[in-house]
Structure 1
Amino acid sequence: MFSYMSYMLTAVAALLVTCDALCKCPGIPGLFGIPGLPTRDGLKGQSHLSGLPGSLYTEVCNILDLKRRLSRLEGVLALNGKIIEVGEKILASNGKEVDFPSALESCEEAGGTLATPTNEEENKAVLGIVKQYNRYAYLGIKESETSGQFMYMNGIPLNYTKWHPHEPNGKGSEKCVEMYTDGTWNDRRCNLYRLTICEF
């Protein structure tokens, strides 16, 4: 029963999200009723969508409202420079400076990982946050077992770099990578405090 209800909720949510300009949920501006779909009375259990109970309609409205609220929050944060969308990634910073393990842990706890530029556009997006805080930031890049060779956190070799002139030069003693305020990279010890920027 649960899987059927879950499936139906997902299907109805997809339908209503697709045609949200035509549906009506209280408190969600811009949504208008159409024949055959529940109205406000549906929330009281007096109307059904394809034989589904009004409580399911309530859940759909809650999902739509949450989607609207998250979208608005994302917009506000983007305007404040707290998050930046680049390609398929969303970059975000809490403004805190911690050591590399703590930065990585906080990003992973939030469902992401440390920002890892894989092209010039992504590097510029990370740089935008670095400049906003005027602080160096750790990147999701570490030195491999071979001294002087760096890789992404998942072990894949780098396909893009933006090293500062004469970097990396740690020769095995600087296993983490930071971004300078000019967008170039430097290998660095992992115990220094740097800005945390996550990607999702």
Structure 2
Amino acid sequence: MLSYLSYMLTAVAALLVTCHALCKCPGIPGLPGIPGSLKGQPRVPGLLGPSGSLMGLPGRYRLPWLEGLPDSLDTELRNVLVNLKHRLSRLEGVLALNGKIREVGEKIFASNGKEVDFASALESCEEAGGTLAAPMNEEENKAILDIVKQYNRYAYLGIKEGEISGQFKYINGMPLNYTKWHQYEPNGKGTENCVEMYTDGSWNDKKCNLYRLTICEF
């Protein structure tokens, strides 16, 4: 189980990702007109897009109960979201300053500092609402490397060998679109199914039952 502090850090990281998604538009610009609650009341910029969805978010984020909000409630909700974005940005800055998280694009990387086997590392990340860190470009690989260097420990990546020997994939089954193999790696030939990151940022195929640093992405 994660310690209380580790749990809080990873939970905050997940919350930050959610905040990023909710606050895509600078200043939370309003959405095409929420109808007023009174007949004849003019339409004003609001927080909802078509069909009661938040601007910039897919349909599953529809909030039909917000449709038809009066002007006063629309303004209040807008202020709450702006304040939430501001407070989370401050908290994000504190965590980044203390080396607890690394941000790249839409991803946040964080570690609980624990060394466990691959299955336990993956379980810890999923329980916190994320998954094992899996770099998809050089920038993400460098962000993960920063955490590896901080702890000076090799870390598991969210990559495993597929059914074909020597063919590695992301743990969601998608083919790799970026690699950083160490020289002459991978060389396990079907006997080393997991992937670890060295302290120089390069990758090595390794057995999955060894203890390596847990780094999650959210």
Global fold match (TM > 0.5): yes
Structure 2 counterpart of 1:29: none
Correspondence 1:18 to 2:28: yes
In structure 1, give the amino acid aligned to 2:180: K
Q: Partner letter of residue 122 of structure 1?
A: E
Indicate how the Cα distance of structure 1 residues 51 and 76 shifts in structure 2: closer, same or farther if over 3 A, else same: closer
User: d(CA) in 1 for partners of 2:202 and 2:25?
Assistant: 46
Structure 1 position 193 matched with structure 2 position 211: yes
2:42 corresponding residue in structure 1: none
- How many residue pairs are counted as aligned between the two chains? 157
Match for residue 158 of structure 1? 176
- Cα shift at 1:72: 1.4
Give me the TM-score of the superposition, normalised by structure 2.
Answer: 0.64
Given the superposition, is the C-alpha separation of residues 145 and 50 from structure 1 closer, same or farther in structure 2, using an over 3 Å criterion? same
Deviation (angstroms), 1:68: 2.8
**Identity score, percent:** 74
Query: Normalized against structure 1, the TM-score is what?
Result: 0.70
Are 1:145 and 2:166 matched, yes or no?
Answer: no
Q: Distance in 2 between matches of 1:51 and 1:84?
A: 38
Counterpart Cα distance in 1 of 2:163 and 2:121: 22
Aligned-CA RMSD value: 2.6
Give per-residue Cα distances to partners, 1:130-157, cap 9 Å, x unaligned.
0011000000000001111100011111
After TM superposition, list the pairs within 5 Å mapping 1:51-66 onto structure 2: 52=73, 57=76, 63-66=81-84
SS at match of 1:18: coil
- Aligned pairs for 1:42-191 (under 5 A) are 50=71, 52=73, 57=76, 63-191=81-209
Query: Structure 2, unaligned stretches of length 5 or more?
Result: 1-22, 30-69
On the 8 A contact 2:28/2:82 being kept in 1, the answer is no
